[in-house]
Amino acid sequence: MELSDILRPEAVKVMGTVTSKKRLFQELGDMVATSHGIDGATAFSALQERENLGPTGVGHGVALPHARIVGITEVIGAFIRVEKPFDFDAVDKQPVDLIFALFAPEGSGVEHLKALALVSRTMRDSAVCAKLRANGDATTLHALLTESQNTKAA
């Protein structure tokens, strides 16, 4: 599995500001509705339910919200870079500006975990995060995310 299998170019976005997790999750729901034909309200609700179990802000300005959705057949992702970091209740109490969301089929135990581990490894790479923060173009961000994984595999 590679990030290019999970993340479509149209599921990458740069936003100026986000005022809350709720607003972020609404945006992520809208993005996967457009890019993958998933019901946006269902995606939003699934993210909210998962976040209620515990915050998905992993530290260093990164959040990895994820949820399972009935009816999808593969793991999919969406990425948002926020120009103005906001409070996400991250483990290190730092504001978040890089958000990589994952949506997995309801019964996808191993595939979901593999995808989450792949995204987590990528987003722990400080060089990748620095490049993501230095670019404001969604196409470039998609290329950075998908190419960073390909070069590590080589």
Residues 126 and 114 sit within 8 Å (Cβ to Cβ): no
Residue 153: the pLDDT is 42
Q: Please give the positions annotated as active site.
A: 66
- Residue 28: pLDDT above 70? yes
Distances (CA, A) of 153 to 1, 44, 125, 131, 149: 11, 33, 14, 19, 6
- Residue 11: pLDDT above 80? yes
Chain-centre distance for alpha carbon 27? 11
As a whole number, mean pLDDT of residues 50-60 equals 90
Quote the pTM value. 0.91
Residue 114: the pLDDT is 87
pLDDT in tens, 34-53: 998 889 999 999 999 999 99
d(CA 23, CA 11): 16
Name the β-bridge partners of 63: 57, 99
Domains and CATH numbers, the chain: 3-153 (3.40.930.10)
- Residue 152: pLDDT above 70? no
Among 12-16, 19-23, 49-53, 107-111, name the one with the lowest average pLDDT. Answer: 107-111
**Cβ neighbourhood burial of 105 (10 Å; 0-12, 13-18, 19+):** middle
DSSP 22: H
| Cα–Cα nearest to 142, from 126, 124, 122 | 122
Structure tokens that stand for 113 in this block: 């975990």
